[in-house]
Each structure stands twice: as C-alpha cells, then as structure tokens.
Amino acid sequence: MSDSTRRAAFITMLDLQNRMNSKVHSDWMKQGFAWYRAAWIECGELMDHYGYKWWKKQHPDLAQVQLEVVDIWHFGMSALFKDGVDIASMASAIESELADHQPSGLDVLAATEALAEYCLRTKGFSVPLFWDLMTASELSFDDLYKQYVGKNVLNFFRQDHGYKDGSYKKVWQGEEDNVHLVEILAQSDVTSSQFADDVYQGLAARYPRA
C-alpha cells in the first residue's frame, strides 16, 4: 500500500472499531473498559497456538497465531481511543509512531511478551510493539487490514440480519458464513476506498432472502 492508502486503511479500521464498540455501549469511551487486559490475555492465547512448552512436542500453528494477532488489534485500537480525539488525528499519530520505529527483530514469543508486558505495565497499548509482533508472525499489513475488515463487516452483517434474536442463518448454500467471507475477501480489491462496503454487499448478495 502507498502511504496515502495505508492512512486511509487506518482510518477505516479505527472507524469500524468505534462503530462496533458503540454497538456494545453507545458511550463506550467513558465506560473505562479494560481493553489492555483483553489484549494481553489474547497474547497468552497466541503463545498457546505458537507453542512454548519445551517438555512436549509442539508445532506452531501460524494461521491461528495470525488470527490472534488480528484479535489483539481489535482490542489494541480500542485502547487508543480518547474521548474528543478524532479518528483522522489518531491515524496520523499511529503513522508518526511507526515512521520513527526501528524494528526489534524479535521472534514471535519474545515480541508477544514485549507487547503483553507493555499492556500490563502501562494499562495501555503500543502500536510499534504490536507491529513487531505482526512482523514476527509473518502477517503483512495488507493481510491484517483484509482480515480485520472482513471480521468486522461479518459481525455487522450478522447483527443486521437477526444474530441477536436468533433468526440469522449461519450456513448458506451448504457453507458457513466464514467460508463465504474468505471467498469474498479473495475476490475484493483491498486497496479500494469502498473495500468494507464491497465486502458487506458481497455477503448480502449471497445471503438467502426470506
């Protein structure tokens, strides 16, 4: 992605996270939710998928590790929000932090521990340390963006189609909605400014009408 496209991607993700959090509580930023805690606990789950037990045979499950990285990003972005700060300014601040950041070169376990330690010590979230973890996990920014937006859009789609009252159909045409999402993401242009809308419309086009 170019610099301008990446900035637009940050704005899109921050906006989606704010909208999703607002579904949980309309005034969520003033509730004092411990987003940092959710982030470091996800770090622990990531380590389980990667494997740290030298006393038993383990093989890193990189796909699951990357999914945990995406989950951490949900909570991490939420922790960055401050009441009264607009999303465009937040995106600029993230870009500035990353521009000055020197990659640590840490492996997956060490990068996970560094991020978890920061969360516990500051009760906050570090984008540069998250970036080190993302890099160590072999997850590109394009893939982070694609997976993050896809998961958020699917959650919105579920809510809009009766997930709360139980009327939502999770299996369509013999496949779960997650499978449809993967296929739609593979066909969508991640660099498009309408990427999130395109994914939503792709789901809507496949979802069975009553």
**CA-CA distance, 83 to 31, in Å (whole number)?**
11
105 backbone dihedrals φ, ψ, rounded to 5°: 75, 10
Residue 210's pLDDT band, with cuts at 50, 70 and 90, is low
- Amino acid 44: pLDDT: 96
Q: What is the pLDDT of residues 11-45, one digit of tens each?
A: 999 999 999 999 888 999 999 999 999 999 999 99
C-alpha–C-alpha distance, residues 38 and 79, integer Å: 10
Q: With bands split at pLDDT 50, 70 and 90, how would you rate the model's confidence at 125? A: very high
> Looking at residue 99, what is its pLDDT?
92
**Of residues 187, 188, 184, 176, the one with CA closest to residue 203:** 184
The number of domains in the chain is: 2
| pTM of the full structure | 0.87
Residue 171 three-state SS: strand
Domain finish residue from 115, 139, 163: 139
Q: Which of 93, 122, 139 is the last residue of a domain?
A: 139
- Do 11 and 91 lie in one domain? The reply is yes
Q: What's the pLDDT tens digit per position in 170-184? A: 998 899 998 898 899
111 and 174 within one domain = no
State what percent of residues in the chain have pLDDT above 90.
Answer: 70
Task: State the pLDDT at residue 4.
Answer: 79
Residues 188 and 199 in one domain: yes
27 with 100, same domain: the answer is yes
Regarding whether 82 and 156 lie in a shared domain, the answer is no
Q: Domain span at residue 169?
A: 142-210
**C-alpha angle 33-37-38 in degrees, rounded to nearest 5:** 85
pLDDT category at 139 given cuts 50, 70, 90 is very high
Residue 127 maps to which CATH number?
A: 1.10.4010.10
> Of 123, 139, 155, at which residue does a domain stop?
139
Cα–Cα nearest to 150, from 175, 180, 170, 121: 180
Pick the range with the lowest mean pLDDT from 15-19, 85-89, 160-164: 160-164
Domain match, 95 and 184 both: no
Same-domain pairing of 51 and 132: yes
> What are the structure tokens assigned to 75, written together?
């909570």
| Angstrom distance (rounded) from CA 115 to CA 120 | 9
Examine the domain organization and report whether 192 and 116 are in the same domain: no
| Cβ pair 196, 153 in contact under 8 A | yes
